[in-house]
Amino acid sequence: MENLQEKAKEILNNNWKGSFSIPCANLYPFQWKWDSGFIAIGLAHFNMQNAEKEIETLLDAQWDNGFIPHIIFHTENDSYFPGANFHRSELHPLSSKKYKSTGMTQPPVTGFVLEDMYKISKDKSQTLQYLKTVIDKVYFNHEYFYNNRDPKNEGLVYIYHNWESGTDNSPIWDDIWATMNPPEYTFERRDTTHVDASERPSKREYDHYLHIIEIAKANNYSDEKIAELSPFLVQDPLFNAMLIKSNESLINLYEEIGGNADKIDQLKKWQEQSIKSFKDKLFDDELGAYIHYDLRNEKPLRHLTSSSFSPLFANIPSQERADKMVKVMLEKFGGEHQYLCASFDPDSDRFNPKKYWRGPVWVNLNWMLFYGLKNYGYNDVSERVKQDTISIVEKNGFYEYFDSRKEMHTNGKAGYGGGDFSWSAALLLDMLN
């Protein structure tokens, strides 16, 4: 175990670029929003200064409306497509003047990351001083979400692009692609020069990804216009669970800091409505877990994914529902030949255990399940998730994602996507501490 921890630290040190971290070399050469959060948790265990800097840099790229972009292009680098010149964040009148970025976001993990950093810190008063300098920016980001991403005032925010979900090519999105018919674009992919194409999304999927961005760009990334026109408009349980978890953390931290009664009050109001709508709208009784909702076409997207169980991490379900969810997780995803937790329903014909978010196990989702299961007293299942994560990393290395089928892990080739991947290192380090 000590070796694993040393290797994890080495990866994080290598992926540190002076003021932020990259998710991994070549494949992802910039700073990504939710990666940054997970990475900061790992860094906090052995280098609090870098953890603080990581988040500070991310927040420095915040737009004047509170929005935080999903990729911040700190350098000119053409090993990634689509880059800054495609995304053109400058089209939005309130975008950062200092950094080029995308015009989309990623799951709002930063709030709970700050609380985790505080919990990990050995010098609480120093960390509290730091938190005072950054917490309002995260609050402003939540304000952005509730004011701009919730057109019907439900307390549930939408995402307008699959890249905003973080679970890019999940089979869930197939249902949305079936409602669209984008042009066949000509472009040069870079991802498949770094990683085998069988582990990445298809060309046709990329046409859809680019098309949604073209629509957003034609409207200068206006939230109002996107809500009106984007063919992709989804309430995602993972994204909303992260927001709820982060709201809770902001309340806890503001209480620790003292004062800020108005912000605490507002956060509690958001919490109340968000949790209620989340429970009422996103739980699928028949499937026994949470699902996505297609706001554009007004219909539930009835599939089981690892995101379906992420509300456990945010303490959203009642104990009764949690019991039901764990039963479904073990029955469908936890057979003796499977590592927990596949990213998509292994019984579905859309399941592909090698292809990115269509089946493989991801360390960040496992990390959430590890803590989420503990919240509900499922200590054995939580321990299994941890041991499964250790096994797949020990057998293959710190890959981006892993085959969920145990039988594939015999020759060390069941790790896929990027290697020496930062959040796999950071979150395993956290689970081992």
Q: Do the beta carbons of residue 75 and residue 31 sit within 8 Å?
A: no
**N residues, the chain:** 433
Stretch in the footprint of ligand 9WN (CB under 6 A) among 160-168, 220-228, 263-271, 317-325: 160-168
For the bound state, the minimum distance from the C-beta of residue 421 to ligand 9WN, rounded and expressed in Å, comes to: 7
Q: Does 28 bind ligand 9WN (CB under 6 A)?
A: yes
For the bound state, the minimum distance from the C-beta of residue 168 to ligand 9WN, rounded and expressed in Å, comes to: 4
DSSP state letters, 305-361: BGGGGGGGTTT-S-HHHHHHHHHHIIIII--TTB-S-BSB-TTSTT--TTSGGGS-B
C-alpha neighbours within 13 Å on the C-beta side of residue 339: 29
Whichever of 11 and 275 has its CB closer to ligand 9WN, that residue is 11
Compute the radius of gyration of the chain from its Cα atoms: 20
C-alpha neighbours within 13 Å on the C-beta side of residue 405: 12
Q: Does 139 bind ligand 9WN (CB under 6 A)?
A: no
Residue 331 designated active-site: no
Whichever of 322 and 392 has its CB closer to ligand 9WN, that residue is 392
Q: Does 207 bind ligand 9WN (CB under 6 A)?
A: no
Query: Which residue has its beta carbon closest to ligand 9WN?
Result: 23
Q: Alpha-carbon torsion 377, 381, 387, 391, what sign?
A: negative
Dist. CA 201–CA 3, nearest whole Å: 33
Residue 154 designated active-site: no
Joined tokens for residue 154: 């439900």
Q: Which residue in the list 400, 403, 420, 430 is annotated as catalytic? A: 400
For the bound state, the minimum distance from the C-beta of residue 374 to ligand 9WN, rounded and expressed in Å, comes to: 24
For the bound state, the minimum distance from the C-beta of residue 90 to ligand 9WN, rounded and expressed in Å, comes to: 20
Question: Which amino acid is located at 157 in the chain?
Answer: V
3-state helix, strand, coil in the chain (%, to 5): 55, 10, 35
What do you get for the CA distance between the two ends of the chain, in Å? Answer: 11
Q: Restricting to residues 184-203, name those near ligand 9WN by CB under 6 A.
A: 191
Q: Does 32 bind ligand 9WN (CB under 6 A)?
A: yes
Question: Which amino acid is located at 399 in the chain?
Answer: Y
Q: Do the beta carbons of residue 200 and residue 255 sit within 8 Å?
A: no
Q: Does 401 bind ligand 9WN (CB under 6 A)?
A: no
Q: Which residue in the list 60, 168, 174, 284 is annotated as catalytic? A: 168
For the bound state, the minimum distance from the C-beta of residue 348 to ligand 9WN, rounded and expressed in Å, comes to: 19
Q: Does 34 bind ligand 9WN (CB under 6 A)?
A: yes
Whichever of 82 and 372 has its CB closer to ligand 9WN, that residue is 82
Q: Do the beta carbons of residue 104 and residue 163 sit within 8 Å?
A: yes
Which residues form the catalytic set? Answer: 168, 400
**Which stretches of the chain bind ligand 9WN, using CB under 6 A?**
23, 28, 32, 34-35, 70, 163, 166, 168, 191
